[in-house]
């Protein structure tokens, strides 16, 4: 894990591998951002001109490296693009987060990066820290000393190692607000990275049992209460959704309850995560081209797990219960068949018309179980539908809810932490498409609006009167294209920051 410190040192005197400064896009070319003063002065006020000569424009995420001015203790200045120069207010926190992330990625293999970006207050400093720590991520568990794509020999700890130390300049290390900001940034980024690690772990190593074991280890470390229902307990308890989805796999399902409580808490939140450790589609097998990334189908459970640990690290005055609905969806002689009817934990019967619509089945059981404890609100997180990816693309998750105000709050919170999301409706007329001729409901409905249909299905398993929101993260959970900002290729940790902020706002009494 990358180390984080705040420092009041000058960029000139700090020993580091690189000084990171910001460059914005001005009307007449690139302009050096606040924070770059020491570097600019050393360049006789010509930093922007030097950068322009090197082809820099100040465009978002653009990285330009140049030798540091003489007298500097760091050898390199790395200018990172911030995008359009703001007219009055400062750079937004998400702009800082992304720029710091891009810079941290460009410093892969380096030991120490000093970030001299435009930091006006503790919130800005936290954004720089968070972005840098999230950008300084690499999933190396499965790399030996093997060759890289160019065929060159690589050691695990060499040039592909993430930046080891982040120093945020302009952050006052002794100031209370800055101290809290640093702690928060470190905890949040570490937990986002924990979710990413779980998502990136291939399904031959991450199955319901090993996922539950990881949760158990973290629970022990952070003083959380944990209960794990194994396949026997699930069968006995009547968890037909989890059992029905998991029964085709040699790795049986689990339902994990991981609980954080605070003595002064006035509210309790329940987070429910879809944890399909591999989604082959089951008997309704996915075609080639649709299953290569399906190790990511537990991203919701990873986000929930990571968020609960982050809340514990931050010691927030709110109770948070995480529910991880873990199963592997495989075809086999013991798998659920299309046309089978499952009796769910709620007592409702579900006709499984498509075994690839499995997420809603495991979530339904977990939502019913979570509702029994009558939390003040429930948020589920799931890579639920391809339809949501078609609707919103690869970087935005959809938010559905049984309560308009709650949906708006979650949307606003996501925006605040820099996660792209959009509110989606749950049109009542789509319910009849799930009418079944044999059971209470079918697990599939109309193809059009498939993401909304899934939301309507889940809604029927949420306890009466409990505000509930459903985050369909199928798009942003897993980045199949190149890295950008603080987002790496592969697992992204989508929704972790939204859940943590929701817990903070609830602890602060800002919600309901």
Active-site residues: which are they?
286, 360
Shortest spacing between CB 150 and ligand BES, in angstroms: 30
**CA trace torsion 366, 367, 372, 373 (10° rounding):** 90
Q: C-alpha angle with apex 268: 267 to 271, nearest 5 degrees? A: 145
Give, as ranges, the residues between 447 and 466 that touch ligand BES (CB under 6 A): 450
- Distance separating alpha carbons of residues 184 and 171, to the nearest angstrom: 14
Asked if 389 touches ligand BES (CB under 6 A), the answer is yes
Count of residues engaged in binding ligand BES, rule: CB under 6 A: 16
Contact track, Mn ion, 344-363, x by CB under 5 A: ------------x-x-----
| Least distance from Zn ion to the Cβ atom of residue 355, Å | 10
Cβ pair 508, 481 in contact under 8 A: no
Binder of Mn ion out of 94, 279, 419, 472 (CB under 5 A): 279
Q: Which residues pair with 441 in a beta bridge?
A: 350
Minimal CB distance to ligand BES: which residue? 386
**Cα separation of 246 and 255, whole Å?**
11
Cβ atoms within 10 Å, residue 10: 15
CA separation for the pair 259, 238 (Å, rounded): 22
* Binding segment (CB under 5 A) for Mn ion, from list 86-94, 187-195, 225-233, 274-282: 274-282
Considering only CA atoms, give the Rg of the chain. Answer: 24
State the sign of the Cα–Cα–Cα–Cα dihedral 301, 304, 308, 309.
positive
What is d(CA 245, CA 235) in angstroms, rounded to the nearest whole number?
12
Per CB under 6 A, contacts with ligand BES among 336-355 are 354
Contact pattern for ligand BES over residues 288 through 327, marking x by CB under 6 A? ---------x------------------------------
Residues 102, 88: Cα–Cα separation, whole Å: 25
**Which of 251, 385, 487, 498 is the binder for ligand BES (CB under 6 A)?**
385
Supply φ then ψ for residue 189, to 5 degrees: -65, -40
Closest alpha carbon to 468 in 405, 410, 412, 403: 403
Contacts of 112 (CB under 8 A, 6+ apart): 15, 16, 17, 163, 164, 165, 167
H/E element holding 449? none
CB of 439 to Mn ion, least distance (A): 19
Given candidates 52, 191, 279, 351, which one binds ligand BES under the rule CB under 6 A? 279
279 lines the binding site for Zn ion (CB under 5 A): yes
- The residue among 279 and 351 lying less far from Zn ion, judged by its C-beta, is 279
Is residue 42 involved in binding ligand BES (CB under 6 A)? no
Stretch of 75-83, 202-210, 384-392, 482-490 contacting ligand BES, by CB under 6 A: 384-392
Residue 297 binding Zn ion, by CB under 5 A: yes
Q: Is 191 in the site for Mn ion (CB under 5 A)?
A: no
- Min CB(294)–ligand BES separation in Å: 6
Q: Which residues would be at the binding site for ligand BES (CB under 6 A)?
A: 279, 297, 354, 356-359, 383-387, 389, 444, 450, 474
Q: Which residues would be at the binding site for Zn ion (CB under 5 A)?
A: 276, 279, 297, 359
């Amino acid at each position: 894990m990358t180390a984080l410190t705040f420092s009041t040192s000058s960029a000139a005197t700090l020993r580091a591998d690189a000084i990171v400064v910001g460059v914005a896009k001005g009307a007449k070319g690139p302009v050096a951002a606040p924070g770059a003063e020491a570097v600019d002065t050393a360049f006789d006020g010509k930093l922007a001109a030097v950068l322009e000569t090197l082809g820099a424009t100040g465009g978002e995420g653009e990285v330009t490296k140049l030798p540091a001015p003489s007298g500097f203790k760091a050898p390199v200045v790395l200018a990172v693009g911030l995008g359009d120069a703001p007219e009055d207010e400062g750079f937004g926190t998400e702009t800082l987060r992304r720029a710091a992330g891009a810079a941290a990625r460009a410093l892969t293999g380096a030991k120490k990066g000093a970030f001299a970006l435009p930091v006006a207050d503790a919130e800005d400093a936290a954004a720089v820290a968070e972005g840098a720590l999230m950008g300084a991520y690499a999933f190396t568990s499965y790399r030996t000393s093997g060759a890289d794509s160019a065929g060159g020999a690589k050691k695990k700890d060499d040039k592909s190692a993430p930046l080891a130390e982040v120093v945020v300049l302009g952050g006052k290390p002794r100031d209370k607000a800055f101290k809290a900001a640093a702690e928060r940034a470190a905890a949040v980024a570490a937990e986002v990275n924990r979710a990413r690690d779980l998502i990136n772990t291939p399904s031959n190593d991450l199955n319901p049992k090993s996922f539950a074991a990881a949760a158990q280890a973290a629970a022990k470390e952070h003083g959380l209460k944990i209960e794990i229902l194994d396949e026997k307990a699930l069968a006995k308890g009547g968890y037909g959704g989890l059992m029905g989805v998991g029964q085709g796999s040699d790795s049986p399902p689990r339902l994990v309850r991981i609980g954080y409580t605070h003595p002064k808490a006035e509210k309790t939140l329940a987070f429910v995560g879809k944890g399909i450790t591999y989604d082959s589609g089951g008997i309704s097998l996915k075609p080639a081209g649709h299953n290569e990334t399906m190790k990511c189908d537990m991203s919701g459970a990873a986000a929930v797990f990571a968020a609960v640990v982050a809340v514990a690290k931050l010691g927030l005055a709110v109770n948070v219960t995480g529910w991880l609905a873990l199963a592997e969806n495989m075809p086999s002689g013991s798998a659920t068949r299309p046309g089978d009817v499952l009796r769910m934990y709620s007592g409702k019967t579900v006709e499984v018309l498509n075994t690839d619509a499995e997420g809603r089945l495991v979530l339904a059981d977990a939502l019913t179980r979570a509702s029994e404890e009558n939390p003040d609100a429930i948020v589920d997180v799931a890579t639920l539908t391809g339809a949501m990816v078609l609707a919103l693309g690869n970087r935005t998750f959809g938010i559905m809810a049984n309560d308009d105000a709650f949906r708006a709050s979650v949307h606003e919170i996501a925006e605040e932490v820099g996660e792209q999301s959009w509110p989606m409706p749950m049109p009542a007329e789509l319910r009849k498409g799930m009418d079944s001729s044999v059971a209470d409901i079918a697990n599939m409905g109309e193809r059009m609006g498939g993401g909304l249909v899934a939301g309507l299905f889940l809604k029927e398993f949420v306890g009466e009167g409990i505000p509930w929101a459903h985050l369909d993260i199928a798009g942003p959970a897993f980045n199949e294209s190149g890295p950008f900002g603080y987002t790496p290729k592969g697992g992204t940790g989508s929704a972790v920051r939204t859940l943590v902020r929701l817990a903070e706002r609830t602890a602060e009494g800002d919600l309901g």
